[in-house]
Amino acid sequence: MSNEQGIARFSNPAPLGLAGFALTTWLLSMINAGWFTGDAMNMVLAVAMAYGGTAQMIAGVMELPRGNTFGATAFVSYGAFWWSFALFVLFLHDKVPAAFVGWYLFMWGVFTFYMWIGTLRGVRAVQLIFLALWITFFLLAAGEWTGMGRLHVAGGYVGLITALLAFYVSAAEIINEAHKREVLPVGTPRAA
């Protein structure tokens, strides 16, 4: 696609990446919140590999020619998270101590925390996604470390909020672009 000056214009991959992240996060968070048992995990794994993992990776690679370091880093990283999660559950779940799983989740929380700091001059809705996500990771890590089921459930509920926020921003990106105006507000970025 090109614009009026004949310069290549790349499509916005964010709605794809956000939707892949949101759907997969929603499904896993329903289990973490206790709405479903681990028997539902196979569907999460399928979606984690196909949509949460692969679609986000594609979105991240699509961010590169747009010069969006943040988007590329976020989508490729969380795509890799979903692939690593699926591989862990499928092949290693019974072979890794809970404390180490806690460190895995905690370090994803650390990554998400500094990514959140990177959003603070951007769109407010994206800030909220990353805020809710680092809280989710830290709650789930604390649940693994302490064995307190309530922390795990709390992480599940904050994960559901994270997924809803990501779905909202994905929808806003699609709908606002289609209507060529802001139909769904996402909050304006802070002035430099």
Phi, psi of 8 (to 5 degrees): -60, 135
Classify residue 167: in a domain, yes or no. yes
Quote the number of domains for the chain: 1
Classify residue 119: in a domain, yes or no. yes
Lowest mean pLDDT among 7-16, 132-141, 156-165: 7-16
pLDDT score recorded for residue 8 = 62
Classify residue 5: in a domain, yes or no. no
- CA separation for the pair 15, 6 (Å, rounded): 25
What percent of the chain clears pLDDT 90, i.e. is strictly above it? Answer: 89
With 60 as the cut, is the pLDDT of residue 74 above it? yes
- Name the residue range of residue 63's domain: 14-179
How far, in whole angstroms, is CA 82 from its chain's centroid? 9
How many other CB atoms are there within 10 angstroms of residue 74's CB atom? 27
Task: Give which of 144, 157, 173 is closest to 33, Cα–Cα.
Answer: 157
Residues in the chain: 192
Classify residue 1: in a domain, yes or no. no
Task: Give which of 93, 78, 80 is closest to 162, Cα–Cα.
Answer: 78
Query: 112 with 159: CB under 8 angstroms?
Result: no
Classify residue 6: in a domain, yes or no. no
